């Protein structure tokens, strides 16, 4: 089996290794516009040696932001800044990816270090939230969203397609649609947050309709040679997870037929009442079941081991196809170099780092 530092090819894209920087919101944008913080952040992650760097959740419209500090792709000025970021990632040796989404009822919140709670209606930097049904998330996010009309659904889907077109033209080569974590797509898919009685609510087929339609619309504009992927919630750790898993697998099979290439298996985060069993690799078994039942390649992004031998074993054992890490890269942006050394990869500095670093570290002990 391939190891952590073997190349990985999907469609027309080849990653230099199987290490992925997971999308991590920075909440440092203004009016959705990236800035020097983002440029330096993503360039340094790419130089660290990962095969793929996925840019943080980027909103398709102003109302789709989680906080006022989220990045966006609803205008051309934002796209130009993201073009620079995609180029910097590419120059650093990694494939540039981006996560596109809409926050739904979790939108219009304070940044995490400023409360991580809903801004009250009428406050500066606040806006009206929307969702499939007028049901609040609860606890620190108590605002009741406005129920989306059919016109709203079509508008958000159109916003999504335009954002994807901008991501395509900005040079991103890997697209991840954010269909998880209690944001808009997950709000539609989950009966916890969707109590509609029209064709977008009720049965599993109806609740999946928004996600499948959106993916199919995106498939029409996203280049066939570039991977089209989703992050999808398949368990909630609340209520009937077996039923949720079965519905998620059925949806992924439909998405695969519609052109989906890869899945990041995730958690719902659609209710504050969930009892999540946090721990190292705790989602691996769930991810394996999903990948086996759908025939899709994939990964999961929660608490994967960052101990190099254990991480390599996940790949060699066929548990997941890519190792997706987040916070370990904040601790050490050059984590791949550390892993390559511990795994005794030949010429580890040259295998992971750009020449100005690799040369000086080649003989460093």
CA neighbours closer than 13 Å in the CB half-sphere of residue 215: 29
- Non-local CB neighbours of 104 within 8 Å, separated by 6+ positions: 64, 129, 130, 131, 145, 182, 183, 184, 185, 186, 187
Task: State in Å, rounded, how far the first CA of the chain is from the last one.
Answer: 30
**What torsion, rounded to 10 degrees, do the Cα atoms 301, 226, 205, 269 define?**
20
SS3 content of the chain, % helix, strand, coil (to 5): 40, 15, 45
Whether 238 is catalytic is: no
> Of these residues, 8, 27, 183, 238, which one is catalytic?
183
Q: Is 141 helix (H, G, I), strand (E, B) or coil?
A: strand
Burial 78-109 (b: 16+ CB within 10 A, else e): bbebbbbbbebbbebbbbbbbbbbbbbbbbbb
- Non-local CB neighbours of 355 within 8 Å, separated by 6+ positions: none
Identify each DSSP E strand in 66-151 by its residue range.
71-72, 95-101, 130-131, 146-147
Q: Which residues are catalytic?
A: 183
């Amino acid at each position: 089996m391939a190891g952590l530092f073997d190349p990985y090819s999907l469609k027309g894209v080849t990653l230099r290794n199987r290490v992925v920087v997971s999308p991590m919101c920075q909440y440092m944008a203004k009016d959705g516009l990236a800035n020097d913080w983002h440029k330096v952040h993503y360039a340094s992650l790419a130089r660290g040696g990962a095969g793929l760097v996925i840019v943080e959740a980027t909103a398709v419209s102003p109302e789709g932001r989680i906080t006022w500090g989220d990045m966006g792709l609803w205008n051309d000025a934002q796209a130009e800044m993201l073009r620079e970021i995609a180029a910097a990632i590419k120059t650093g040796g990694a494939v540039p990816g981006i996560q596109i989404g809409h926050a739904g009822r979790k939108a219009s919140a304070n940044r995490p270090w400023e409360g991580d709670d809903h801004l009250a209606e009428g406050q500066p930097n606040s806006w009206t939230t929307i969702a499939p049904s007028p049901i609040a998330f609860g606890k620190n996010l108590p605002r009741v969203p406005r129920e989306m009309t059919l016109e709203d659904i079509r508008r958000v889907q159109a916003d999504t397609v335009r954002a994807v077109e901008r991501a395509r033209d900005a040079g991103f080569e890997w697209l991840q649609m954010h269909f998880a974590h209690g944001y808009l797509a997950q709000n539609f898919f989950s009966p916890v947050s969707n109590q509609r009685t029209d064709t977008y609510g009720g049965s599993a087929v109806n609740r999946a309709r928004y996600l499948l339609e959106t993916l199919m619309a995106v498939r029409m504009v996203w280049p066939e040679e570039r991977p089209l992927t989703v992050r999808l919630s398949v368990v909630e750790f609340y209520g009937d997870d077996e039923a949720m898993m079965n519905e998620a697998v059925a949806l992924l099979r439909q998405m695969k037929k519609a052109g989906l290439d890869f899945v990041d298996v995730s958690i719902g985060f659609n209710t504050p009442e969930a009892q999540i069993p946090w721990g190292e690799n705790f989602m691996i078994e769930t991810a394996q079941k999903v990948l086996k039942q759908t025939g899709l390649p994939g990964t999961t992004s929660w608490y994967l081991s960052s101990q190099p031998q254990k991480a390599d074993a996940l790949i060699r054992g066929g548990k997941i196809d890519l190792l997706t890490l987040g916070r370990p890269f904040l601790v050490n942006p050059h984590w791949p170099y550390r892993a390559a050394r511990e795994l005794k990869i030949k010429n580890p500095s040259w295998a992971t780092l750009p020449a100005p670093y690799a040369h000086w570290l080649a003989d460093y002990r």
